[in-house]
Amino acid sequence: MNKRRKLVLIGNGMAGVNTLEQILKLSKAFDISVYGEEPYPNYNRIQLSYVLEGSKKIDDIILNSREWYEENGIALHTGAKVEFIDTEAKQIRTSAGVTASYDVLIIATGSKPFILPVPGANKQGVIGFRDIADCERMIEASKAVKKAAVIGGGLLGLEAAKGLVQLGMETTVVHLMDTLMERQLDATAAGMLKAELERQGIRFLMGTKTTEVLGDTHVSGLRFADGTELEAQLLVMSAGIVPNAEVAKASGIETGRGILVNDYMETSAPGVYAVGECCEHRGVCYGLVAPLFEQGAVLAKTICGVDTAPYKGSSVSTKLKISGVDVFSAGEYLENAGHRVLRVHDDWRGLYKKVLLREKRIAGAVMYGDVTDAPLLTRLIKDGAEMTDELYRQLFGGDGGGCCGGGAKASVVDGMADDEIVCGCNGVTKADIVRVIQEDGLSTVDEIKVKTGATRSCGGCKPLVEQLLQYVLGDGYEKQEKKQGICGCTAHTREEIVAAIREKRLTSVREVMMVMEWQQEEGCSKCRPALNYYLGMIWPAEREDERDSRFVNERLHANIQKDGTYSVIPRMYGGVTTPEQLRQIADVADKYNAKMVKVTGGQRIDLLGIEKQHLPAVWEELGMPSGYGYAKALRTVKTCVGSQFCRFGTQDSVSMGIALEKKFERLWMPAKFKMAVNGCPRNCAESGTKDLGIVGNDGGWEVYVGGNGGIKMKEAELLCKVKTDEELTEICGAFIQYYRETGNYAERTSDWLERLGMEQVCKAVVDDAANRKQLAERVELALAGLHDPWKEVLESEKLQRELYEAIKVKEK
Q: Which residues are annotated as a binding site for [4Fe-4S] cluster?
A: 640, 646, 680, 684
Spatial separation of the C-alpha atoms in residues 264 and 261, rounded to whole Å: 7
Spatial separation of the C-alpha atoms in residues 653 and 728, rounded to whole Å: 12
Binding-site residues, please?
640, 646, 680, 684
**Which of 384, 482, 465, 360 has its CA nearest to residue 423?**
465
Binding-site residues for siroheme, please?
684
Provide DSSP, 124-173: BTEE--SSHHHHHHHHHHTTT--EEEEE--SHHHHHHHHHHHHTT-EEEE
Question: Can you tell me whether residue 454 is helix, strand or coil?
Answer: coil
Provide the total of helices (H) and of strands (E) in the chain, helices listed first: 26, 36
Backbone angles phi, psi at 53, to 5 degrees: -80, -10
Contact by Cβ (8 Å): 736, 692: yes
Backbone angles phi, psi at 438, to 5 degrees: -75, -45
SS (H, E, C) 677-718: EECCCCCCCCHHHCCEEEEEECCEEEEEECCECCCCCECCEE
Long-range residue pairs from 769-772, CB within 8 A, at least 24 positions apart, any chain: 772/730, 772/731, 772/734
Spatial separation of the C-alpha atoms in residues 626 and 619, rounded to whole Å: 8
Provide DSSP, 567-594: EE-B--GGG---HHHHHHHHHHHHHTT-
304: left (phi over 0), alpha (psi -120 to 50) or beta: alpha
Please, which residues have CB within 8 angstroms of residue 715's CB and are 6 or more apart in sequence?
688, 689, 707
Instruction: Give the start-end residues of each E strand in 5-90.
Output: 5-10, 30-36, 74-78, 82-86
Residue 348, exposed/middle/buried by CB under 10 A (0-12, 13-18, 19+)? exposed
> What is the distance in angstroms between the CA of the first residue and the CA of the last residue of the chain?
21
Instruction: Give the start-end residues of each E strand in 424-582.
Output: 428-429, 559-560, 566-568
Contact by Cβ (8 Å): 739, 696: no
Please, which residues have CB within 8 angstroms of residue 253's CB and are 6 or more apart in sequence?
85, 87, 107, 259, 267, 268, 269, 272
Write out the H or E segment, with its range, that includes residue 606.
strand 605-610
